[in-house]
Amino acid sequence: MTVYFIGAGPGDPDLITVKGAKLVERCPVILYAGSLVPKAVIERAQPQAKVYDSASMDLDEITQVYTDAHAQGQDVARVQTGDLSIYSSLAEQTRRLNALGIDWQVVPGVSSFQASAAALGQELTLPEQCQTIILSRASGRTPVPDKENLKSLAQHEATLCLFLSATLIRKVVRELSDVYAQNWPVCVVEKASHPEQRIIRGTLADIADKMHAANIRSTAMIIVSKVFAIDDFVDSKLYDPSFTHACRKGKVLDAAMDSVKVATVVEASSHE
């Protein structure tokens, strides 16, 4: 008997993995986070499956579902939003399962920050301009360690994806304004991949008012990044004709010929 923690993806029921969907189809017990996991994902379950919504349960009640299933020798599909590596309470659940000697596995999912980037049609890393993505949240009722405060994260000028922070947008703007100019780009995606998805593009100067006007208060990803304002980035090395890597030999343009003619680069032999 195993508890399978399955990332359901960001909302579109087609964005669960094939592996996750197959487990939902075959597990006799389903425990899903009803607030964010779409019903269509759960409709894959067998008609006789026991289906529980964890939205109103506490950790003890959730653990009881695992214990009962274990006693019956029944696998559990534990379905949660996005990917389990981010703000999922996976760790506290698996700690209980370890203590009880119950086996578990994790099946990854598409995270909401990825679905938000897809909705925006935006690569979050750009060659030589931004090569790091920080996933974080603003500190509110749930505290964030002081060393991870937004002002210090902003120093890196990396793409900053903020979960669970929609109601804290004014605080986010205040803290980031100590480091960035007011025209620093900020995009917000509400309910990425859902039919009612909404996108707001703005800057530190106006994003809070725009979100307020649109009444966006939850299920929203805030992405703060210069990548939204950069269009003069260089091409990547990956597809650079002169760059050799493990899967492809580079070609160089021969300066003596004209640019139409290309010569294959002979890779240096490694005798030394």
- Interface positions with ligand SAH (CB under 6 A): 10-11, 36, 81-83, 86-88, 111-112, 115-116, 163-164, 189, 191-194, 219-221
Which residues neighbour 268 within 8 Å (Cβ) at sequence distance 6 or greater? Answer: none
96: which DSSP letter?
H
Smallest distance, ligand SAH to C-beta of residue 184, A: 20
Instruction: Name the residue nearer to ligand SAH (CB basis): 63 or 116.
Output: 116
Of all residues in this chain, which one has the CB nearest to ligand SAH in the complex? 82
Smallest distance, ligand SAH to C-beta of residue 46, A: 26
Angle at 211 between CA 207 and CA 216, to 5 degrees: 150
Instruction: Name the residue nearer to ligand SAH (CB basis): 86 or 153.
Output: 86
Instruction: Name the residue nearer to ligand SAH (CB basis): 63 or 114.
Output: 114
In this structure, what are the phi and psi dihedrals at residue 22, rounded to the nearest 5 degrees?
A: -65, -35
Task: Look at phi and psi of residue 11 and say left if phi exceeds 0, alpha if psi is from -120 to 50, else beta.
Answer: left
Angle at 137 between CA 135 and CA 138, to 5 degrees: 145
Say how many CA atoms lie within 13 Å of 178 toward its Cβ: 11
Beta bridge partners of 160: 134, 224
Instruction: Name the residue nearer to ligand SAH (CB basis): 88 or 139.
Output: 88
Smallest distance, ligand SAH to C-beta of residue 265, A: 42
Smallest distance, ligand SAH to C-beta of residue 199, A: 10
Smallest distance, ligand SAH to C-beta of residue 70, A: 25
